Structure 1
Amino acid sequence: MKLIINIPAYNEEKDLGKTIQNIKKSFAHNFYSNEGTVIDEKLIQVVNDGSTDGTARVAKENGADIVVSYKPNRRLAYSFKQAVESSLKNGADFMVNIDADGQFDPNDIPKLLLPVLKGEADIVIANRFGEQKAKNIPWVRSFFNRFAASVIGFFLNYKTNDLTCGFRAHSREALLRLNLTNLYFTYTQDTIIDAIGKNLKLKWVPITVTYFDNRQAKITKSIFKFVSNSTKIILKAVRDVRPLKFFGWPGIFFMILGLIGFIFFLFFYFQDFKIRPYLNYIVFSSISMFLGIQLIIFALIADMIKSTRQLTEEFFYQWKKDKYNKL
């Protein structure tokens, strides 16, 4: 069986070589087997996301087996898409994604890989917020990550933990099933929601992570931009996966609100049988009921669109299986 360790890299010539060497050292440990399942081929893949420095050269000099390069820089989501396509093309049974800057320990790769080997999960995600919490991580990012995990867990009825960590192990089935709809920011939240919607098994494993004092996150230059973009991705993804909840529950809320307004109107009306003093209740009730009905109609239409999309994605999945010719 074949394992590909994927490293997305943008202007990482300074740290990439050391990361590749550390991954090679981790290969020396006999952690990549489970009850007869043996990973006999381990490759390192670097996706050079339009770097302007010597990232591609450093990757080749340090023995990366596969180097995918393109220009210009298109950010993490597009990089991940290229990584998945290249891994499938090169016959990967498993793909582990790890950052290039050395913040993650390659010796933790087996922790993520083992549940996939055992068939306990299709995707295993590193959890930076377990018992050993990451140091130097901005508190706003930590808070938003936990808040977003709670929101997604509520809407999708699925317990989630670290949504934004890119250190992950994927089965081949997961690589074939996942479809990215947002290619302009990051893929981390989008793929988790997509996987839950497709009934893939997810698992979080606590790991240690080093946040360097001078490290600036590559996917964002400001906390505001990170929160803004992440919120858009999460809302769009939840809308597509659970449209009845996304539109239906607010619709029911507004209808109940409208009903309460109408009850208040009736209560006051039957006291003096006058309408004009209580017109505000009628207006409030009418607007609320109208919004509620509209949202419920949106929910039903969105659910029909979801069913159509699921059929399309199933055809796409079968097409990818045939294309990469490894059933």
Structure 2
Amino acid sequence: MTKIAIGLPSFNEEKNIASIILQLKKNYELILVCDDGSSDLTAAISEKMGAIVIKHKKNLGYGAAIRSLFLKAHELECDILVTFDSDGQHRVLDIETVVAPILKNDADIVIGSRFLGSIKGEIPSYRKFGMNTITNLVNANTEKKITDSQSGFRAYNKTVLEKIIPSESGMGVSTEILIKANKYKFRIIEVPITIHYEGDTSSQNALSHGTSVILSTMKFISIEHPLKFYGIPGIAFLVLGLFFIVWTLQEFTATGRIITNISLIATGSTIFGMILTMNSVLLYSLVSVVRERR
């Protein structure tokens, strides 16, 4: 029998956690709750209702909670881990839809996409813009066509739990997992889900939230694809620098004068291009050595 665990990353969710666990218990026996340093009764309520509770002494972030759920599911030798938000936005009945492709061995990771299903309520335009920007950035570097890279409603099979250990503590963990999954060539598909969205439920400021996710995404892209991330811009700046060097030399030959602005652009572009190119080679070598030693 397939061992399915439902993982709930939770922070101060005493108002929602009881009803969610009660609904989950009707169909799923193994419920994991990561209490990420809550100051309310989230952990106590979860334990009383029969969930396995992982406690963080202080609030470490969404990514840290996902990491703890991954490690616990792996420790319990689960066949599938479903990550499910604790704020009441997701429908329990959609779990069957998210799990189905893994049970059929059609996928290793399944994402419940808000943009393929229906949204009850209105997502603010700035959040839609941020989600699309991050998703496009992920797609450009994984060659996937994902519609919702930030969805927390996902299912992972046993192989993924063995191979991927999230390290990002913040919201960037969602893209970290996708970038690492692409490295292992895991099969990723999306299925439609219905989400109940009521206002901005994020505990972070929208700007800081979006910025942190984008920076995190760029960090993992640079680690996984250093030659592409640093090398291509480096070569572009070297070509630009060469163009302005030739221009500077032509002007000096024709007039005997050095045009300061042009020469400064030539020097700056060349130096910056060399730095980026060298960084790409050094980081690629370093990452290769680290991977060989694993």
Q: TM-score, normalised by structure 1?
A: 0.83
After superposition, give the CA deviation of every residue in 1:103-122 in whole Å (9 maximum; x if it has no partner): 10111111111111222221
- Identity, % of aligned pairs? 28
- What is the one-letter code of the residue matched to 2:237? F
Kindly state the Cα deviation for residue 157 of structure 1 after the two structures are TM-superposed: 2.7
2:141 & 2:66 partners in 1: Cα distance?
A: 26
Moved over 6 A (4+): none
Are the counterparts in 1 of residues 8 and 84 from structure 2 also a CA contact under 8 Å?
A: yes
Once the two structures are superposed, residues 221-279 of structure 1 have per-residue CA deviations (whole angstroms, 9 ceiling, x without a partner) of x1111112112201111111111111011111101211221343355456xx3331435
Q: Indicate whether 1:244 and 2:232 are aligned.
A: no
Counterpart of 1:79 in structure 2 is 65
Amino acid at match of 1:300: V
Residue 23 (structure 1) aligns with = 24
Change (3 A) 1:179 1:45: closer
**Aligned 8 A contact 1:155 1:245 in 2:** no
Q: Which whole-Å CA distance do the structure 1 matches of 2:255 and 2:156 have between them?
A: 67
Matched pairs, number:
293
1:122–1:171 CA contact under 8 A, matched in 2: yes
Partner of 1:8: 9
Alignment correspondent of 2:39: 52
Q: Where does the alignment leave 5 or more consecutive residues of structure 1 unmatched?
A: 28-41, 316-327
Q: Secondary structure at the match of 1:102?
A: coil
Report the RMSD for the aligned CA atoms in angstroms. 2.0
Q: Which residue of 1 aligns with 2:50?
A: 63
Is structure 2 residue 267 aligned with structure 1 residue 286? Answer: yes
When the two structures are superposed, what TM-score results if normalisation uses the length of structure 2? 0.92
Which residue in 2 is equivalent to 1:253?
236
Give the letter aligned to residue 203 of structure 1: I
Tell me which residue corresponds to 2:134: 148
Where does residue 324 of structure 1 map in the other structure?
A: none
**Equivalents in 2 of 1:267, 1:206: separation in Å?**
61
Report the alpha carbon displacement of residue 59 of structure 1 after superposing the two structures with TM.
Answer: 1.3
- The range that moved more, 156-165 or 99-108, is 156-165
Q: Is the 8 A contact 1:99 1:166 kept in 2?
A: yes
Match of 1:301 in 2: 282
After superposition, the Cα gap between the structure-2 partners of 1:140 and 1:266, relative to the gap in structure 1 and judged at 3 Å, is same
Residue 196 of structure 1 is aligned with which of 157, 175, 182? 182
